[in-house]
Every structure is written in C-alpha cells, then in structure tokens.
Chains A and B, each alone.
Chain A
Amino acid sequence: MQVFSIPKSIKENSRFTFCPGCDHGVAIRLVAETLDKLNLRENTIAVASSGCSVFLYNFLDVDCVESPHGRACAVATGIKRVNKAVGKDKFVFTYQGDGDFASIGLGESLHSALRGENITAICINNTNYGMTGGQMGPTSTMGQVTTTSPMGRNREYHGFPIKTAEHIALCDGTVFSARVALYDYKNIINAKNVIEKAFMAQSKNKGFSFVEILSSCPTNWKLTPKQAHDKIENELIKTYPLGIFKDTTNE
C-alpha cells in the first residue's frame, strides 16, 4: 500500500529549487495537497508574485499568472471578477511573500480584504526580503539584524513590524485570517488544516480568506535549518503569535 506520494497538483518530476531548509517547499506542498483534497486543481487559477514566491508556477501544476511586485491581490481580483461576469466560478488564490503582501502591496492586499474579494491569499512571512539577500522588511522583528539593519531593527530608524494576519482580520470583508508555522510536524498538520479552512471559505463564496505562514530563511538568517526552525518556535512566535484571528465562515 502506498501511503505517501507526490500530490497531483505538483508538476511531474519537479524538484524544489529553494535553499536547503527553506519552508517554501513545504508550504507549496501543503497548498498542492489541499487543492487535491478539495478537488480544486482543474478549476484553479493561481497568482504568483515577485521574490522567492514567484517560482510557484515551476512546481504547481495549475494555471498560473505572475503578478507585478505587490499586486497579486489586485490581479486575483480581476481574475475572479471577470470569470464571474461570464458565469465561471473559478478558484483563485495568491501566493506571496511578506514583502510582496505587506510592504509594497499592502494597499492592494488590504483593499482586497476590505472589498471582501472572494479570493484566498497565502503569505509566506520569513521576516526579510529573501531573494535579494536578506534586507529588512516591514515584518523584520525588533532587534533583527539584516543587511540593511546591521545594528538590528530599532524604533528610531526603522519603526515597528506589521502583524499582518491581525490587521487583515480587522477588515469587514475578511472571512478568515490566521497565522501558522511549519517548524515541526504538529504545526505542519495544523497549517494544512488552516489552509483548507481558508480555501473552503472561498468555495463557500464568503469573502477574503488569508493565511500567514511563518517560514524559515536559513540562508539569510545565517542559521542552520534546525536553528532556523528553533528561532521560529522560540523567538518569532512571540512577535507573531499563531492562531486564527477571524473565522466567520459558518456565520
């Protein structure tokens, strides 16, 4: 009996090209497993963005369009709306980094939530701009050393990090907003369940659903994969507590 296989929504013979210990691969796999489980693959249009998350379409075997940096939720809005106008109910989700969703694209992200766009956004939060080599982003934590905050993030020069999932939960158009992590087996299983809930919210036409995934970035954090996951468990969740901040799917 086969108990473990590659999800149907992952391209055949694809190999993740992310850095060793990076959680992107796990996150994409969870998305693929959930698409399989909910039988959504053949009705899905995914929106990739800029940064490490852009490579989504190299691995995921669904129709996919790349968005300009930060604009994924606007692109997804257009896809969802025009298809609805011609009688097609498509499943539309974005896959973005924290810089994409919560920095350059905060306007598009927040307004999509406020309008209650019936789309799902997955945001990989690794507290830095990963692809460009680990610069400080709005999600970098206080004291975090990056290539553009060499003395550590501080209030005087850099201000405070954004708690994205909590902000999105405040929007009336949001039906589901949660933060999960992938540092151990238990959290990975939980993350998959949460992604499923977010996808279900869209399938029920309830409004904007959002999952922030705390992810490791060992290369830029200058840590081993194990140390990076320990950092998430011991430090990051103090700034970014895990949990479901809003769920009105069944109301």
Chain B
Amino acid sequence: MSKELIKGNIAIAKAALKAGLKAYFGYPITPQTDIGEYLSYEMPKRNLAYVCAESEIGAINMALGAATSGEKVMVSSSSCAVSLMQEALSYACSDELPLVLVNVMRAGPGQGYIYPSQGDYNQAVTGGGNGDYQVVVLSPSTLPEACDLTQRAFYISQKYKIPTMLLVDGLLGQMAEPVEISESKYPEIDNSSWILDGAKGRASREIHSLEPSQYKLNQHIVSLFKKYKEIEQNECDWEEYMMDDAEILVTSFGTMARYAKSVVKDLRQNGIKIGLFRPKTLFPFPSKRLGELSLKVKHIIDIEMNMGQMLKDVRLSVLNNAVVSFIGKPVGDWLKREEMKSAINNIIKESYASI
C-alpha cells in the first residue's frame, strides 16, 4: 500500500468502502457533497446500494431501513441538514439500529455559511432529537485518523447497535493530505440474532420504538443507558501530548486541536509547562482521564472553533479548583498561531497575577 494525496471527504468515502460499506444515501450540501459524488460512481460499479435521496429526511430514513439488514450503512451531510435527520436518529437509537452518519460541519446557526466551524458539538453529543438517548460521536484531527475513525464508527455502531457520528469540521473534509487507505482493522460483528431478513424457520421479529407500556418503556431506556455506560468503559479514546509535567492543560478537538498542538509545541520551546488533551470520542467524553489530569494542573484552557461548547464537558470533568478559560472563534478564519499564543500568554499572566 502506498500513500495518496486526497481530499478529506474522498478519504472518508474510500475508508468506508474498504470497511465494507453496502449502502449509501445522501443529499447534496456543501462542504460534504464530494462524498456522495464519489460514491455515486463507486457504489453502482460494485452493485452496491446508492440513492440520491429527495431530502436529508429521506436519506436518513433509507439508512434506518437499510440498517435492519445488519449491513454497513452510511449517510453523510452537514450541520443544518443534520438537523433534519435528528428525528430518525432518535428512532435509530431507540430501535438500536447501527448506522454511520458523517457530519462535515459548516457554520451556523440556520444556513450560516460553508466556512468551517465546530458549532455542532452540542447537537452531536447531547442528541438533537427527542427523548433520553445518545449517539456515539467520533472526532478526527487528521485525514489518516479520519479514515481510521470512519472504520471504527462502523465497528462501534454494529457492536453496540447504535448510530455513530463521525463529526468532521469543513476544513478536514475539504483539505488534502497524504493518506493510506487500508482495510479495516476492526473485527466483523455477527448480527444474525436480530436482523430482519424474513421470518424463515424462526419467530418473526419486530423493531420499533413505540411502547405503550410505561413499565417496559422505562426498562428500555434504562437498558439503553446501561449500554452507554458500557460504551464509555470500553470505547473512550483521547490523545495526550506533553502532559507529563504540564502545569497548564489545553483541551481541544478536531482540526482545532491539531492547530492547538503546534501552539503547545511552540510554547514548550519558550519554557512554558503546557500540554494538550484531545478527546477523540466526544460521546462518550473521556471525563475520567481529564479529571485525573486536572488534579496535576493549575490552569485549563479550552480552545474551540465555536463559542465554547465542549467547554461544559471540560468543566464537568475537572476535579479540583483549576481555573478553566476559553479561547474560541465561531466561524472559519482560524485564530492565527501568534494570536492563539498571545491569548494563552495573557490568560497565564492574569491567572498568576490573581494568585
């Protein structure tokens, strides 16, 4: 295998094919349209399922239906259109159906624009639909990682029978980087015990979220949350960078974290004891590890391309009195490296001045 220089969206589509994608449903919206364009050629070539849906509502519901087969099913979309998919995601969570949703974020609210943004953290991790539920949310920072997490998304989704979202900011979807698309390293899951394939030689199966019995509905939701606990125990993933002796901890996710990492590296060269904590799973959020790390540091600086959405999860994870500050900008046009450095320096100065 050799590396190729390709765009993020295409890399994600290729990684999904390598993972054994059997059905894709989509509707155009910038900045993710090239996923559907690429697959509109590759899927029919392999006699796989591909539908240019009439809407995002159509696309996600086609995926909901296709997921009953236990095959690997994917939809992709972006921000305001992912809003349209929230109803079906709520159903898929209650129905316990595995599907992968790639959300290449653009800026909001409303139509916003096609600039990169991380403004949909809240919608992704708290669930934008109705009822008590969660979807798993994976957040890559580089293209090789986006490919790996795409394949991991299929694995987690099938293993736990849960919709899994790959949350990508528009920057990662649109930029090119050398990447090697390999076969999935994750094991195949046996779905035969629950799929719908015609009740031949067995009792018929029903998949539904409607539950008129109060008792059973309670039981069902409690069992879903036991599953989420299990996912938290088994699948939490994060990166730590220069954390061994850090006194200041930077938290950041996605491509913003990649940028923050280089700033941390620069500041280390200036003698500042600073490190980075980057969650790769946004739900489940690696709270336990961040809590342990918070006990070793004096200050935590959260950097996001939004107005501070992961900030709440960071604050909830902190176990001591470490000061938590925020640096962010909601849309596109990144904080320049020097701006980020001086913002961090100012926070450090203020923090020490107040002690």
A67 cross-chain contacts in B, Cβ below 8 A: 61, 64-65
B22, B208, B209 interface centre (most CB from chain A within 10 Å)? B208
Contact B69 A86 (CB under 8 A): yes
A66 cross-chain contacts in B, Cβ below 8 A: 91, 95, 206-210
From residue B64, how far is it (CB to closest CB) to chain A in Å? 6
Contact A75 B61 (CB under 8 A): yes
A71 to B95, CA, bound (A): 15
A34 to B66, CA, bound (A): 25
Contact B62 A61 (CB under 8 A): no
Contact A90 B58 (CB under 8 A): no
Select from chain A the residue with minimum beta-carbon distance to B94: A66
Q: Which of B65, B88, B91, B201 lies in contact with A77, CB distance below 8 A?
A: B65
Chain B, 175-217, contact with A by CB distance < 8 Å: what is the 0/1 string? Answer: 0000000000000000000001111110011111110000000
B54 at the A interface (CB under 8 A): yes
Contact A54 B61 (CB under 8 A): no
Q: Which of A63, A76, A107 lies in contact with B204, CB distance below 8 A?
A: A63
B66 cross-chain contacts in A, Cβ below 8 A: 78-79, 81-82
- Which residues of A in the span 48-88 have a Cβ within 8 Å of any Cβ on B? 48, 54, 57, 60-68, 71, 74-79, 81-86, 88
A77 cross-chain contacts in B, Cβ below 8 A: 51, 58, 62, 65
A41 at the B interface (CB under 8 A): yes
A129 to B199, CA, bound (A): 32
B73 at the A interface (CB under 8 A): yes
A212 to B275, CA, bound (A): 65
A91 cross-chain contacts in B, Cβ below 8 A: 198
- Which residues of A in the span 13-65 have a Cβ within 8 Å of any Cβ on B? 41-45, 47-48, 54, 57, 60-65
B208 cross-chain contacts in A, Cβ below 8 A: 48, 54, 57, 64-66
Contact A63 B199 (CB under 8 A): yes
From residue A121, how far is it (CB to closest CB) to chain B in Å? 13
Contact B23 A85 (CB under 8 A): yes
A152 to B47, CA, bound (A): 52
From residue B329, how far is it (CB to closest CB) to chain A in Å? 36
A67 to B63, CA, bound (A): 11
A111 at the B interface (CB under 8 A): yes
Contact B61 A81 (CB under 8 A): no
Contact A64 B22 (CB under 8 A): no
A86 to B209, CA, bound (A): 27
A68 to B25, CA, bound (A): 17
A115 at the B interface (CB under 8 A): yes
From residue B138, how far is it (CB to closest CB) to chain A in Å? 23
A62 to B199, CA, bound (A): 6
From residue B195, how far is it (CB to closest CB) to chain A in Å? 9
A43 cross-chain contacts in B, Cβ below 8 A: 198, 200
Q: Which of A11, A47, A82 lies in contact with B69, CB distance below 8 A?
A: A82
A62 to B207, CA, bound (A): 11
B5 cross-chain contacts in A, Cβ below 8 A: none
A166 to B191, CA, bound (A): 41
A224 to B207, CA, bound (A): 35
A13 to B88, CA, bound (A): 33
Chain A, 77-109, contact with B by CB distance < 8 Å: what is the 0/1 string? Answer: 111011111101011000000000000000110
A115 to B51, CA, bound (A): 10
Select from chain B the residue with minimum beta-carbon distance to A107: B54
B55 at the A interface (CB under 8 A): yes
From residue B19, how far is it (CB to closest CB) to chain A in Å? 15
Contact (A65, B65) CB under 8 Å given A71-B88, A74-B57: yes
B87 at the A interface (CB under 8 A): yes
A191 to B62, CA, bound (A): 29
Chain A, 144-160, contact with B by CB distance < 8 Å: what is the 0/1 string? Answer: 00000000000000000
Contact B54 A71 (CB under 8 A): no
Q: Which of B25, B67, B206 lies in contact with A57, CB distance below 8 A?
A: B206
A68 to B66, CA, bound (A): 14
- Which residues of B in the span 38-62 have a Cβ within 8 Å of any Cβ on A? 47-49, 51, 53-55, 57-59, 61-62
Contact A90 B73 (CB under 8 A): no
From residue B212, how far is it (CB to closest CB) to chain A in Å? 10
A84 to B62, CA, bound (A): 14
Contact B51 A81 (CB under 8 A): yes
Contact B64 A88 (CB under 8 A): no
From residue A122, how far is it (CB to closest CB) to chain B in Å? 16
From residue A12, how far is it (CB to closest CB) to chain B in Å? 10
Contact (A85, B71) CB under 8 Å given A74-B58, A78-B66: yes
A11, A81, A86 interface centre (most CB from chain B within 10 Å)? A81
Contact B22 A86 (CB under 8 A): yes
A11 to B197, CA, bound (A): 18
B22 cross-chain contacts in A, Cβ below 8 A: 82, 85-86
B117 at the A interface (CB under 8 A): no
B201 cross-chain contacts in A, Cβ below 8 A: 42
Contact (A108, B207) CB under 8 Å given A44-B198, A85-B49: no
Other A-B contacts than A82-B71, A85-B47, 14 sampled, CB-CB below 8 A, are A54-B210, A64-B208, A65-B68, A65-B196, A65-B207, A77-B51, A78-B64, A81-B66, A86-B71, A88-B69, A90-B197, A108-B57, A108-B61, A111-B54
- The 3 A-B pairs at the shortest CB distance, nearest first, are namely A78-B65, A75-B65, A78-B66
